Amino acid sequence: MRKFLIAAVAMIAAASYADTTATYVGKITLPAAYNTGFAATIDFYNADQSLVVGLFNARKVVKVTDPLGTPGVTELADLSTDWPWGSGRGISGINIDQATGNIFGGGDPGVNGGAFILSPTGTKLLIGNPANRMTSLAKFNDAGTTAVGTYVLSSSIRTYDVTQTSMPQISVTAVFSSPWNANIRDVAVSSDYSRVYYSRNGTTADGYAVVQDPTPGDGDLSGLSSTGIYQASGTNGIGAMGLGLWQVSGKEYLLVPDVTAKKVTIIDVDTSNPSASQVVLHVGDASMLSTIRDACVGNIGGTNYLFVTDVGTGASEVEIEIFQLSGFASVGDWSLY
């Protein structure tokens, strides 16, 4: 018996590639104990095929096992007392280090701080207090000693030493140009550390851009500028500004939640010329995705699945919408990070 999964089928037409489709499989609704606020961020852990979800208002991180069968939900960490969270603030970005299973994350408390690293079982490896309000964090070298982070009220990205709770700054990019500036939100990093993707919102339409690092692995982004990839339909707050990244057949695909249009856009990033990147597929519609937040892709049983966090039908309901993807590549050609 599938305890949380509700089966349904709907086909979503491809926007560009005729052979790419997304089939709606169903949804997971988290238990009532975690329905105190929406799920702002999500990532997939390859090793055990589980989902890790950051809860915004609850300020907790939970793990979802067996997402296609009988999902089990386990609380990994309660971060509600690690910083003096202001009203309406919470966890907004997480990225799993696939090599170790460690969870890099951030959330704007309204004061300096908000960065964290958790072990796969939820042990708090770092409760960081950088001199700014963190919104997301991702590993930026093989050793996991350097991370790249985004923080609210900025138009740049910084790298940090995450071996210390004070998180000394290592480097800062140039100030990004409009419309790829304003409030930098979520962040994701390519597997070789040569590209840092980010989301931003402000008075212009939500944007998604990339910083290309000519010396990957050194943790230094000093003075680098960004290249715009995509602008979404509207202007939204922090809870709607997630992004996902996955690699298949030598390509990098950006997963862009567009809360205004109630869809996730999958973009084939041209890594040599990101401004020429191509929209592959629009996934979702108003009836299935009421208020989407973040997205990730995972492979289960040889099939790729798109997982999308959604506020759901209730104001505090936490849902994960599930779509089966096809037409991208054979399983043997792809890896997730």
Q: How far apart are CA 187 and CA 209, in angstroms?
A: 10
Predicted pLDDT at 10: 35
| pTM given for the model | 0.91
Least confident of 159-168, 197-206, 272-281: 197-206
- On whether the CB atoms of residues 322 and 28 are closer than 8 A, the answer is yes
CB hemisphere CA count around 22 (13 angstroms): 25
Bridge partners (DSSP) listed for residue 111? none
Give the model confidence (pLDDT) of 17-46 as tens digits: 558 899 999 999 888 888 766 677 999 999
Q: What own/partner pairs with CB < 8 Å and gap ≥ 24 does 97-100 have? A: 97/139, 97/144, 98/45, 98/46, 98/47, 98/336, 98/337, 99/142, 100/144
Q: What is the mean pLDDT of residues 187-195?
A: 96
Question: Would you say residue 145 has pLDDT above 50?
Answer: yes
The closest of 5, 39, 45 to 25, measured between CA atoms, is 5
Predicted pLDDT at 337: 37
Q: How far apart are CA 70 and CA 2, in angstroms?
A: 5
Question: Would you say residue 117 has pLDDT above 90?
Answer: yes
Percent share of the chain, pLDDT over 90? 61
Q: What is the mean pLDDT of residues 285-301?
A: 82
**What is the third-level CATH fold of 11-335?**
Neuraminidase (2.120.10)
Q: What own/partner pairs with CB < 8 Å and gap ≥ 24 does 270-273 have? A: 271/195, 271/212
Q: What is the mean pLDDT of residues 273-294?
A: 84
Predicted pLDDT at 315: 56
Give the model confidence (pLDDT) of 218-274 as tens digits: 999 999 999 999 998 888 766 557 899 988 778 899 999 888 888 999 999 999 999
Q: How far apart are CA 93 and CA 95, in angstroms?
A: 7
- On whether the CB atoms of residues 117 and 126 are closer than 8 A, the answer is yes
| Residue of 265 and 330 predicted with greater confidence | 265
Q: How far apart are CA 196 and CA 166, in angstroms?
A: 23
Q: What is the mean pLDDT of residues 310-336?
A: 69
What torsion, rounded to 10 degrees, do the Cα atoms 10, 2, 41, 189 define?
Answer: -80
Q: How far apart are CA 140 and CA 163, in angstroms?
A: 13
168: pLDDT confidence band, cut at 50, 70 and 90? Answer: very high
290: pLDDT confidence band, cut at 50, 70 and 90? Answer: low
- Helix, strand, coil in percent for the chain, rounding step 5: 5, 45, 50
Question: Would you say residue 216 has pLDDT above 90?
Answer: yes
Conformational region of residue 114, where left means phi above 0, alpha means psi within -120 to 50, and beta covers everything else: left
Q: What is the mean pLDDT of residues 196-219?
A: 92
